[in-house]
Structure 1
Amino acid sequence: MSTIVKLCLKSLQEFIRLQTFNRSGYQQIQLDIEYLKTPLKEIAADATVIDFLLKEVNNAAHERSLDPIPLEPTIVDRLIEAKQIKSRELSIQQSLK
């Protein structure tokens, strides 16, 4: 499973290198990367490699952005927390059906 995750992240990095992003596109990539950190680390055996690859994806997006202004860490944390709460609620609702 770790190998698949690594290959997917490397493919994502290459895909991003072929794109051009505006500010909101770059910020969305930043947010997506932060959201994926925890589940990918749970799946993969080597968390340091996952961190490195996610940083490489973020760096590629930063390089390909016309206006690479990152989101504030507090905003990222709030958005991720809200999404995780919503995901848990949906999971609970589906388990009750």
Structure 2
Amino acid sequence: MTLDNLVQPIDGWSSLGYNRAAPEELLIRLLDIDPGFLWRQDLPAVVLDAAAAHPDRNVRGRLVETRHELTADQWNRLPPSERGQGVGSPACLLPARSPSAAG
């Protein structure tokens, strides 16, 4: 049985996203069921890529909320209105301006 044969979600599947042994393909498919596992900080880059490009804005929003250190390419896949100020976002990479530097 392959993941392609699995069409209907089964109760409890969302918890599989927290299993560190779950294959990348399964994690990507689970984004459609429940993206709650995106809070894991040890997710493979391919899963973060899939979340950044996911058609559901709730999945992309969850990715931004989790404050993963996304690559510039991953941030650029997000619509500008959804990029937020997460860790690793281009806005976070800019040096902070000191109050005395303000004109």
**Is the TM value for this pair above 0.5?**
no
Per the normalisation by structure 1, the TM-score is 0.29
Per the normalisation by structure 2, the TM-score is 0.28
Higher relative contact order (CA 8 A, sep 6+): 1
| Greater C-alpha radius of gyration | 2
